[in-house]
Structure 1
């Protein structure tokens, strides 16, 4: 595994036994260097609690792997990584109060992702804090808030996005859609906030460019995290005659939507960002076979041997079917942070940010470049389609559902390096 910035390489090997030992370890001596604390500001309660819990499992696994190899080597010795989970309840105001608490606790690294609105608020909050407190700066690592604005007009030298933007995800999805002759009428349905509106806007633009013959029969928004019964929306999809649904919905807003669609008899395809987990495949069952597509940097049947081994270790740590949701980007992000900390030699936000900016990471199937122009991760994306487990290349199912995904198309990073309008501020010395 290698990280390159024109200097050497960063190699490591990890096994399940080391991970278990690291999680069980107790500091052997009082003089052990203090841990490097990482605040995770995320929805741990409310309608999106399941997504927050999934994030924490991913990060616990990723951090355990780093600690299993001895943590990070800084100038004063080796330090373990330690997660500090904080419940934002998916509210911007709550997240900003937690950010103040993070600063008061002298935590220098913040992670968040499950809301672009919260991420935008945190970018502003981190910028203000760092300007006012140059000796206590914070760096913000974003694993899944994908509104393009975050690396365009709101870009910040302190913010790094490790997920693909919604425009990048749609660019990959529409490469498959443009080849899909069955698509004639598309129904757009998204959550009613900044991210959902950006998905709808970009979907319209990309359909015009790639499939001008496709009729958009509806462009609908619904309240985020508040709809308990999507049956009325599913009925409208049926009535519209749409053969394709395009949605950026996530969490329960996606699971409940696809469940209602199945019950209403929606026969068309779903082009989704996140239709591969958190109950969506089980909710669709046979109705989703060959019709539900999702997009990510990796999936369980992508055929990446190193990620296959990582997945097996993750499942040994979290064996329950409901816990089966591993994201490759969580591992890559945590390992890149560890590399940046070691190169910086200290938990210094500006030094870490300088190392992350422009970093290239090639490990466990990754081919990731943290573009310095906007701090957007540039990487290939897989588009994959739901199938019954055991068919063709579908060796692994999702969440014990009996349904998995097979690769439809792998889109090269070069095709997803979309232009940016970011005017990146210079990091302070």
Structure 2
């Protein structure tokens, strides 16, 4: 039996333990889980490989700074295989694991499937909703016909990027003949339509000497396609191709001595510089949201820190930007109520030094500056351990690159 003094000592110890536990709730708190649903295998996996590591680094920086609302963040990945069925399986896994925040960007066919599933799930499960951060999807209709309160596109859509590249081409009087070649799915079709629209609007004298859609992720040899381009005597090739469909196309052109400007939207993606090689220097141009050499000290710091950690290239600023939209919102309202997190993203502006992007509330389409760059030996940051990187040529302000929306958003109760 305890003496009175012993009993008092036990009570004091228990009270001290309880006090310490109450004072440090973050030690016991469950992590905030987020999921990246994108192709981790197959032809488009190189697109995601570096982006996944860059997102993990962004989350690590957040965790090292104390996390979000005193909780650590955990990244879970799931392989969509560029396939809607597998993407839906990933969404089901997120639901089963009580994950409310999902990143996805590669494959608009997958995005549509996820949006459909998320809309149905959220309608049946108020308070447990899922928010989709579309970090790289370019199909215009995602923030037009298929706009959703639960989706935020944090990159420019393909119409905006094609507007940037045509604006740049239109200023060059030497360009007389253009050839369009894109992958035959919604984003590639949209790129073709946007190129035709903006060329007619800005430079109706430029002749479109060819326009072709090819099967996505299935062409092994682009020689027949580049032979047509050579026969057309085009000055410039406009393409939104991604992954192997881009580098195989360009290499096939190089192999037959095709001397054109390649104006792209995805040439700075991880793996492309190595695959395209030296013949692309001064011939490969890109219209995009960001490159590694942005002439912005805050972005340079990201590159330097990442390289100092032995990680190579911090290529995907776009996924880092997407993380900033989500993390800033969670930091403001907490992770427990996804509806409030989504509301907080609306109208938000995120900054990396002087580099800014804002989220338009009407359609959840990011408004951001776009730039033109060229593969060059003069880039500050060389990519993939090669002597080449993308050098900034021109920046267009967000207001100039903005496009109207046809979105008729259905907002849930409480939004």
Distance across 2 between alignment mates of 1:285 and 1:91 = 30
Distance across 1 between alignment mates of 2:247 and 2:310 = 22
Deviation beyond 6 Å, 4+ runs, structure 1? none
Paired residues for 1:59-70 under 5 Å = 59-70=55-66
Q: 1:32 aligns with which of 28, 35, 47?
A: 28
Distance across 2 between alignment mates of 1:414 and 1:355 = 22
Deviations along 1:410-429, one digit per CA (max 9) or x if unpaired, are: 00011012100011222332
Q: CA deviation at 1:325?
A: 4.8
Distance across 2 between alignment mates of 1:198 and 1:132 = 33
Q: 2:329 aligns with which of 340, 343, 346?
A: 340
Distance across 2 between alignment mates of 1:347 and 1:335 = 18
Give the corresponding residue for 1:95. Answer: 87
Distance across 1 between alignment mates of 2:306 and 2:131 = 27
Q: Which runs of 5+ in 1 are unaligned?
A: 1-27
Q: 1:147 aligns with which of 132, 139, 143?
A: 139
2:46 counterpart SS class: helix
Give the corresponding residue for 1:192. Answer: 184
Greater displacement, 165-174 / 271-280: 271-280
Q: CA deviation at 1:396?
A: 2.0
Greater displacement, 78-87 / 396-405: 396-405
Q: 1:396 aligns with which of 359, 364, 381?
A: 381
Q: CA deviation at 1:150?
A: 0.2
Give the corresponding residue for 1:247. Answer: 239
Distance across 2 between alignment mates of 1:421 and 1:282 = 40
Distance across 1 between alignment mates of 2:84 and 2:365 = 22
Q: Does the Cα contact within 8 Å between 2:263 and 2:284 map onto a contact in 1?
A: yes
Q: 1:105 aligns with which of 97, 104, 115?
A: 97
Bigger CA radius of gyration: 2
Q: Does the Cα contact within 8 Å between 1:164 and 1:376 map onto a contact in 2?
A: yes
Q: 1:204 aligns with which of 174, 178, 196?
A: 196
Q: CA deviation at 1:264?
A: 1.5
Q: Does the Cα contact within 8 Å between 1:379 and 1:413 map onto a contact in 2?
A: yes
Q: 2:400 aligns with which of 404, 408, 415?
A: 415
Q: Does the Cα contact within 8 Å between 2:380 and 2:391 map onto a contact in 1?
A: no
Distance across 1 between alignment mates of 2:351 and 2:275 = 35
Q: CA deviation at 1:72?
A: 0.3
Q: 1:81 aligns with which of 73, 88, 96?
A: 73
Give the corresponding residue for 2:369. Answer: 380
Q: Does the Cα contact within 8 Å between 1:255 and 1:278 map onto a contact in 2?
A: no
Structure 1 pair 281/180, CA: closer, same or farther in 2 (3 Å)? Answer: farther
Deviations along 1:78-112, one digit per CA (max 9) or x if unpaired, are: 11111110011110111112212211211101110
1:368 counterpart SS class: strand
Deviations along 1:196-219, one digit per CA (max 9) or x if unpaired, are: 000001101111111111111111
Matched, 1:427 2:398: no
Matched, 1:57 2:53: yes
Q: Does the Cα contact within 8 Å between 1:307 and 1:365 map onto a contact in 2?
A: no
Distance across 1 between alignment mates of 2:50 and 2:214 = 24
Q: CA deviation at 1:345?
A: 2.2
Q: Which TM-score applies when normalising by structure 1? A: 0.87
Q: 2:171 aligns with which of 172, 176, 179?
A: 179
Deviations along 1:3-50, one digit per CA (max 9) or x if unpaired, are: xxxxxxxxxxxxxxxxxxxxxxxxx99952111000111111111121
Give the total of aligned pairs. 391
Q: Which TM-score applies when normalising by structure 2? A: 0.90
Q: Which runs of 5+ in 2 are unaligned?
A: 1-23
2:81 counterpart SS class: coil
Distance across 1 between alignment mates of 2:345 and 2:310 = 30
Deviations along 1:248-276, one digit per CA (max 9) or x if unpaired, are: 00111111111111112110101100112
1:278 counterpart SS class: coil
Distance across 2 between alignment mates of 1:30 and 1:313 = 27
Distance across 2 between alignment mates of 1:275 and 1:91 = 23
What is the Cα-based RMSD across aligned positions, in Å? 1.7
Matched, 1:269 2:273: no
Deviations along 1:311-361, one digit per CA (max 9) or x if unpaired, are: 1112233535xxx35222222221221221121123321010010011112
2:408 counterpart SS class: coil
